[in-house]
Structures are given as C-alpha cells and as structure tokens.
Amino acid sequence: MRIAVIFALCLGFSSQQILADEFAQVLIVQPFIELHSGPAGGYPVIHVAAKGEWLTVIKRRTNWFKVKTNKDVQGWVKQQDLHLTQSSQAQPVKLSDGSFDAFASRQFEFGAMGGAFDGLPSLTVFADWVATENISAGVSINQALGDLAENQFFLVRVQHTAFPEWRVSPYFTLGAGQIRTKPRANLVQSGDQARTSDLLAAGLGLRYYLGQNFMLKLEYQHLQALTNRDTNEDLEQWTLGFAVFF
C-alpha cells in the first residue's frame, strides 16, 4: 500500500468565525470607518462610513474583511477597524487574528513529516485531536522503503505538551500499533515472507508555532516490534515536518 497525501489548507478564517449570525452585521460606534477598494492598505479609500451605520460582513481575507453598508456600498476594512464596532447584541466585536491565540484554542492537527526509520527514508502522515491544552490523541501512518524490504506501520498515539503557552514547546508521546515488513520481490522468491508484528512506541518532540495555521515539528521515536523470536526488535525514527491546525 502506498501513502497518498492530500492537504487542503484553508487559511485566513478565524476560529471565532466572523460570519456567524451574531457577527453578520456590526454597528459603527466610533466617528467613522474607512472602506478600501481592496484587502490591503495600498488600495485607495472609496467610502467613509459614519458612526451609527450598520455594516454587513461578506467575507474575510487574512486580516481584511469585505463589508457592505446599508447604502449597498461595498469595500474592505481592516480587522482593527471592526474593533470599533459592536454586534447586534450591543457587544464589542473582538476577533482573533489567526495567530497564537487561535493556535492555543485549536481542535485538530493534520501534518506530514519526512525522515529516517532505522536508517531508511521514511514518510509519515498524521491526524490529532487536541483534547486539552496539554493532551492530544491521534493516529499516524508511516512508510519506509529500503533495498531489501518495505516497512509500513501505524500508531495510535497520546501526546503530552509540557508548556503549551510557549511558541517553542517540548512534548512526549506514547503509542501502540502494528508494523508490516514486506521483502522485495527477489527475496520473496528466495523464501522470505512478509511478517506483521505488534508495535510499541515512545518519543520526544519539539514543536514550533510558525504563524497563521502552521507549525513545525521535530520528533524522535523509539519503537519496539514484538516478534515471535526470542528477542524483540528495537527500532528508531527521526522525523521533521509541518502541521496545519483548525
């Protein structure tokens, strides 16, 4: 089985979801807000909306929001300008900027990592559910190809992050799964057969929050394959890669 990796990275949408019903319309409570023709400061100001006007939020692009006035004038406003408004429930509008605050409140992580498994090139894909700021659980699928054999294994893992409030934070993992080692075709003809073994794993890692919805991960794992022979097989894996979170 070959591992195919497809990631759809949806950036620029805050976890607080500006398009939720309570934020679909906002009331300007400061003297004015400038509307630009595009989602950047370099675009010209095309309209000035005054205090007391309602704005309807249409969509978001990074930290800019497309809005429509009650006179059907459309334009883009900066995120900090929306902090000069209040919701239909008369509450101040406060939005996450998609940075470390959103990272701390994430629920899911998906990622890909490359490295070396017992000296062989390896590829790992994983998906994690973040249960608390310290604890997450997930599954990883791994493949390592060599001249003599192909190794495929999966792990169900639990991860503990020691200092979740740090941008650079260490973590450790415990996991269990199975490994399947399949000899190359020429070795199969000579009598060697594919074998499957239960697998235990313990690891240490370091994660670094890059920005927006991305983080970088460096990880070492010590694995033990529980074989039918007199001794179990000790293995190790180093990986480096990235993850996207939601």
- For 30-41, letters b (16+ CB in 10 Å) and e give eeebebbeebee
Task: Answer yes or no: pTM beyond 0.75.
Answer: no
Q: Please identify which residue in the block is written with the tokens 């179990």.
A: 232
Residues 224, 235 contacting (CB under 8 angstroms): yes
pLDDT at 200: 97
pLDDT at 95: 64
pLDDT at 126: 97
Residues 79, 95 contacting (CB under 8 angstroms): yes
Alpha-carbon Rg of the chain, whole angstroms? 25
CATH 3.30.2320.50 fits 103-245, yes or no: no
Residues 6+ apart with CB under 8 A from 6: none
Residues 82, 95 contacting (CB under 8 angstroms): yes
pLDDT at 144: 94
DSSP for 92-148? B-----SSHHHHHT--EEEEEEEEEETTEEEEEEEEEEE-SSSEEEEEEEEEEE-SS
Say how far apart CA 177 and CA 151 lie, in whole Å. Answer: 13
> What single DSSP character describes residue 92?
B
Show me where the domains of the chain are located: 21-95, 103-245
Q: Which fold has domain 21-95?
A: SH3 type barrels. (2.30.30)
pLDDT at 97: 55
pLDDT at 17: 41
pLDDT at 12: 38
Divide the 246 residues of the chain into consecutive groups of 10 and give the mean pLDDT of each group.
40 39 73 91 91 89 85 89 79 65 80 94 96 93 89 96 90 96 66 82 94 90 88 93 90
